[in-house]
Structure 1
Amino acid sequence: MKIAVEGCAHGELEKIYETIQSIENEEGVKVDLLLCCGDFQATRNLEDLQTMAVPQKYLDMCSFYKYYSGELVAPILTLFIGGNHEASNHLQELPYGGWVAPNIYYLGYAGVVKVNGIRIAGLSGIYKGHDYLRGRYEFAPYTDTTRTSVYHVRQLEVFRLKQLSDSIDIFMSHDWPRGVYNYGNKSQLARFKPHFRDEMDKGQLGSRPCEDLLKLLKPKYWFAAHLHCKFAALVTHDELDESREVAESSYENLSLRKKATSEDSEGRVTKFLALDKCLPKRRFLQLLDIETPVSESDIRLEYDLEWLTILFLTNNLTNVKSAKYYLPGPHNAASTERYNFKPTTDEMEHVRNKFASDLFVPNNFVRTVEPYNASESSNGYTAQPKAVINPQTQQFCDALGIDDPVSLALIIGGQELSYSSALNESTDTEFNDSATSVQTEQSSLNMSSSTGDAPSPRQISPFKRKSSSSLNLPKPISEIDGAEGEFQEKINSDELHLGNSSADEAEKEDKATENVNEVDSEVNALNVKPPVKKFKRRNQSLYMNESKEDE
């Protein structure tokens, strides 16, 4: 399968597809899949534009709305994750992933899918230590603070990804894993991006949770963006006690070590590649061939059974409060609470039965707002929209038996749940038919056993839904394996290709905005005591050195 990888899209979807088409014509190839590593900017209209955390001069509708409205259709299957410049209200409608337009699929806060057997995982957002331990309490319309915090990575998504046991072919993140620069040409990166030098010297450049996931999951490929440059590295997962020596070695010595690496290390290597943003003369796109375990002429997108089961098993850990909380772990020996959620065979079969053994992602895209109309003039001021419940999320949550975090946050915040008018009042015949199909075919996806007349999902509070019905879960039996240590670092200098060295004005503006907006305040004070499970303080030692992590 030929895959195109894009760095920061920044809303230039039309230009990206045109670039791919040009490459196909020149080289006589056919690209099967496009992966975008964040800052996708899926803005559907001017209201969505107001939820983006960018300086005013960068607010631009760009071209995504054309694919949302149906004016254009994505020529190839496109998968993407979120970054730190997104139409956050739109992506919040799909916390577990879903279609944002025909043939364009969002992986959610975190997600794992299969494309013709290739296993692709992703983590949206960027890491900030002061928000990492909080729940998903934000919802539109946002304050200046929540408009920024909404795209910060949270511990629950990372915790869920750490439960994966099967091998990962491709991992996508917006952030770079912390320390990955030690496995590539660090000195050349510092020359190209001088303002990174101090953070690299202090070991602070990149995401700490992504570093943990890289060492634990050991994917074959890891693609990232965010830092607006192209950088390649080869991460070898070897002896723990050699990692510090490698980090302190010179680039030349590491190159000699690379040549001496034997073939027995193959399979324990991650090929890391970060790409630039979509601009002329910038290295924002890379094509590569990946062998698929499933030989099919059609490109087919499937849910990952292990990931579905992890979502199901950890639903009770969902937290939508702004206060910091701690997830269960092995540190409290006296606790009988389960902390290892690696699914058993029985648990996965239970989830498989919920979907009647049909894990193909349904084509159930439906518009939930009116798309931007370029021919209509703006009145000048545009307010932020209110949070809307997406029928895709409603369908997915009802099928799997889990809760929608946005619905919970709205209920706890004393807000009414707003369902899209596209479900029953749309004047657009094509999308109204699609929405009706979503409702009438609910039973084909939601295979959890039920008899008799059941109330509509709209009439059921998310708090009343039981995610563990008819399943007796075993007691925790083993600790999560200790694969999160340090590993030997290594370089692949042959894969390093950097773009031009012009300074990036937008990047500096973004960082300035981040510093101004990220004030740690308790917004949307919750006066209603939520029926959300409280946990004893544990795992306090993880990710608590916030002063070093905040940028």
Structure 2
Amino acid sequence: MKIAIEGCMHGDLDIVYKTIQHHEQIHNTKIDLLLCCGDFQAVRNEKDMDSLSVPNRYKEMKSFWKYYSGQEVAPIPTIFIGGNHEASNYLWELYYGGWAATNIYFLGCAGVVKFGNLRIGGLSGIYKKQDYRSGHYERPPYNANTIRSVYHVREYDVQKLMQLEEPLDIFLSHDWPVGITDYGDSQALMRQKPHFVQEIETRTLGSKPAALLLEKLKPRYWFSAHLHCKFAAAVQHGDDGPVTKFLALDKCIRGKKFLQIIDIESEPGPFEVLYDEEWLAITRKFNSVFPLTGRNADFRSAEMNIQESREWVRKKLEERQFKPFEFVRTVPVYNPSQRSFDPIPEIPQNPQTLSLLELLGLPYLLDSSPITGERTKIPASQAPSDLPTFDSEEIPIDDIDDIDEIEEMAEAKADEHTREEA
């Protein structure tokens, strides 16, 4: 199976698909799957921009809306995770995973699916210590704090992934596992990115939860993005253990190393995205302790008899032949000739999510109050300032999540140093 790996998408689906099609023509080959490592920016309309955490100069309708509307269809199956630049309101609709557009599948905040005989898992977002143990308390419309904390990795989702026992072929994360630079050419990386030196030397570059998952899951391949550079490594798990091949890629800009084609041994097709039995069994068991407020999550009351849950889930999935529920649009689509649209009366409940929860016998919790955890409906017209504001020391507004900002600051500092020397 030929798989294309893409780094930070930044909404430029057209560029990625055209690059892949050019590769196919030049090499007379066919790519079977595209994997995207975050910053996908599944922006459907102008209103989604309110939930996109990027500086205003980067707020631009890219090309996803055309795929959401059906004007374009992804030419190859595409699976993506979330990063720190996303239409977080839309990804919250698909918290458990689902089709973001026809032939484009979101793995969810955490998730595992099968594609052919390959098992693919992923963790969305980036790690920030101050939010890690909190629940998923953010709800759209987001305020100045929650628009940045909503994409921070939560212990709840990591703990679900830590329950996996069956082998994974591929794992996706947006930020790198901390310590991964020990297994590649870190000297070359520090020459390329000198502002990473201190973090590499103090072993603070990357995600601690991702490192835990790497140690536990030991996938054959691990792909990441976020730091806007290409970096390869190979992790040997124990003296005679398996090897994980790690690869990080750059952001989607012409001339950058944002795309890699790899061959992975697999059974012959047809290839399609299918639900994973073990993952849905874990999801079913963990949903009873789904943390939906700012309080720390508590997993002690979760019953972890996954095998019993698997047998129940298997019967349900066999009825569907393990196929995910169909894509459904939930909001008006961007129209370049019309700069306004009818207001959305409430936070949409995505039919895919409702159908999956019904299949698993689980309640719908995504519109629960971020304070009490009880179900409530928040009007879309409510101003961000009307939502509760959390302690700014717990969720600092000036916390720099954006690698673009870091790079711009580093470049500005370098330019200033050059001017001083001149």
Given the two structures, how large is their TM-score scaled by the length of structure 2? 0.87
Q: Which residue of structure 2 aligns with residue 349 of structure 1?
A: 311
- Find the structure with the greater CA-based Rg: 1
Q: Which residue of structure 1 aligns with residue 248 of structure 2?
A: 274
Does 1:295 pair with 2:268?
yes
Does 1:320 pair with 2:292?
yes
Offset, 1:396 = 0.5
Q: Which residue of structure 1 aligns with residue 338 of structure 2?
A: 376
Which structure exhibits the higher relative contact order, with contacts defined as CA atoms closer than 8 Å and separated by 6 or more residues?
1
Q: Which residue of structure 1 aligns with residue 178 of structure 2?
A: 178
Offset, 1:416 = 2.0
Q: Would you say the 8 A contact 2:101–2:327 is kept in 1?
A: yes
CA spacing shift, 1:141–1:268, aligned 2, 3 Å: same
Q: Report Cα offsets for 1:251-274 as digits up to 9, x if no partner.
A: xxxxxxxxxxxxxx4x61000000
Q: Would you say the 8 A contact 1:388–1:418 is kept in 2?
A: no
CA spacing shift, 1:385–1:289, aligned 2, 3 Å: farther
Offset, 1:384 = 9.7
Q: Would you say the 8 A contact 2:289–2:302 is kept in 1?
A: no
Quick one: which amino acid aligns to residue 291 of structure 2? N
Q: Report Cα offsets for 1:74-130 as digits up to 9, x if no partner.
A: 000000000000000000000100011100000000000000010000000001111
Offset, 1:405 = 3.7
Does 1:50 pair with 2:23?
no
C-alpha distance in 1, partners of 2:318/2:357? 15
Does 1:391 pair with 2:348?
no
> Structure 1: which 5+ runs fail to align?
240-264, 329-336, 420-505, 514-551
Q: Would you say the 8 A contact 2:281–2:313 is kept in 1?
A: yes
Q: State the secondary structure of the residue aligned to 2:148.
A: helix
Offset, 1:313 = 1.2
Percent of pairs with identical residues: 49
Map 1:348-367 to 2 at 5 A: 348-367=310-329
Q: State the secondary structure of the residue aligned to 2:52.
A: coil
Q: Would you say the 8 A contact 1:164–1:342 is kept in 2?
A: no
Q: State the secondary structure of the residue aligned to 1:141.
A: coil
C-alpha distance in 2, partners of 1:414/1:270? 42
Q: Would you say the 8 A contact 2:331–2:344 is kept in 1?
A: no
CA spacing shift, 1:178–1:108, aligned 2, 3 Å: same
Q: Report Cα offsets for 1:186-230 as digits up to 9, x if no partner.
A: 011001111100011111000000000001110000000000000
C-alpha distance in 1, partners of 2:110/2:312? 22
CA spacing shift, 1:393–1:512, aligned 2, 3 Å: farther
> Structure 2: which 5+ runs fail to align?
381-401, 410-422
Quick one: which amino acid aligns to residue 406 of structure 1? L
C-alpha distance in 1, partners of 2:25/2:297? 53
Q: Would you say the 8 A contact 2:139–2:367 is kept in 1?
A: no
C-alpha distance in 2, partners of 1:286/1:170? 14
Q: Report Cα offsets for 1:7-56 as digits up to 9, x if no partner.
A: 00000001100000000000111001000000000000000011111100
Does 1:218 pair with 2:218?
yes
Map 1:72-91 to 2 at 5 A: 72-91=72-91
Map 1:472-551 to 2 at 5 A: 507-509=403-405
C-alpha distance in 2, partners of 1:204/1:508? 19
Q: Which residue of structure 2 aligns with residue 471 of structure 1?
A: none
Q: Which residue of structure 2 aligns with residue 461 of structure 1?
A: none
Q: Report Cα offsets for 1:258-313 as digits up to 9, x if no partner.
A: xxxxxxx4x61000000001001100000011111x322x2221111010110111
Quick one: which amino acid aligns to residue 509 of structure 1? E
CA spacing shift, 1:23–1:508, aligned 2, 3 Å: closer
Q: Would you say the 8 A contact 2:74–2:102 is kept in 1?
A: yes
Q: Report Cα offsets for 1:473-505 as digits up to 9, x if no partner.
A: xxxxxxxxxxxxxxxxxxxxxxxxxxxxxxxxx
Quick one: which amino acid aligns to residue 306 of structure 2? P
C-alpha distance in 2, partners of 1:13/1:271? 26
Offset, 1:317 = 1.3
Q: Which residue of structure 2 aligns with residue 463 of structure 1?
A: none
Q: State the secondary structure of the residue aligned to 1:105.
A: strand
Q: Would you say the 8 A contact 2:6–2:34 is kept in 1?
A: yes
C-alpha distance in 1, partners of 2:211/2:125? 15
CA spacing shift, 1:38–1:342, aligned 2, 3 Å: farther
Offset, 1:377 = 3.6
CA spacing shift, 1:141–1:413, aligned 2, 3 Å: farther
Does 1:11 pair with 2:11?
yes
Q: Report Cα offsets for 1:117-162 as digits up to 9, x if no partner.
A: 1000000000111101111111110011010111011011100100
Q: Would you say the 8 A contact 1:140–1:385 is kept in 2?
A: no
Q: State the secondary structure of the residue aligned to 1:408.
A: coil
Q: Would you say the 8 A contact 1:236–1:268 is kept in 2?
A: yes
CA spacing shift, 1:194–1:510, aligned 2, 3 Å: closer
Map 1:179-258 to 2 at 5 A: 179-238=179-238
Query: Which portions of structure 1, spanning 4 or more consecutive aligned residues, are displaced by more than 3 angstroms?
Result: 356-359, 382-386, 409-415, 510-513
Q: State the secondary structure of the residue aligned to 2:212.
A: helix
CA spacing shift, 1:409–1:396, aligned 2, 3 Å: farther
Q: Which residue of structure 1 aligns with residue 390 of structure 2?
A: none
Quick one: which amino acid aligns to residue 24 of structure 2? E
C-alpha distance in 1, partners of 2:185/2:161? 29
C-alpha distance in 2, partners of 1:92/1:65? 17
Q: State the secondary structure of the residue aligned to 1:314.
A: helix
CA RMSD, 1 decimal = 2.3
Does 1:407 pair with 2:367?
yes
Offset, 1:356 = 3.8
Does 1:308 pair with 2:280?
yes
Offset, 1:507 = 2.7
Quick one: which amino acid aligns to residue 347 of structure 2? A
Quick one: which amino acid aligns to residue 114 of structure 1? K
Q: State the secondary structure of the residue aligned to 2:175.
A: coil
Q: State the secondary structure of the residue aligned to 2:210.
A: helix
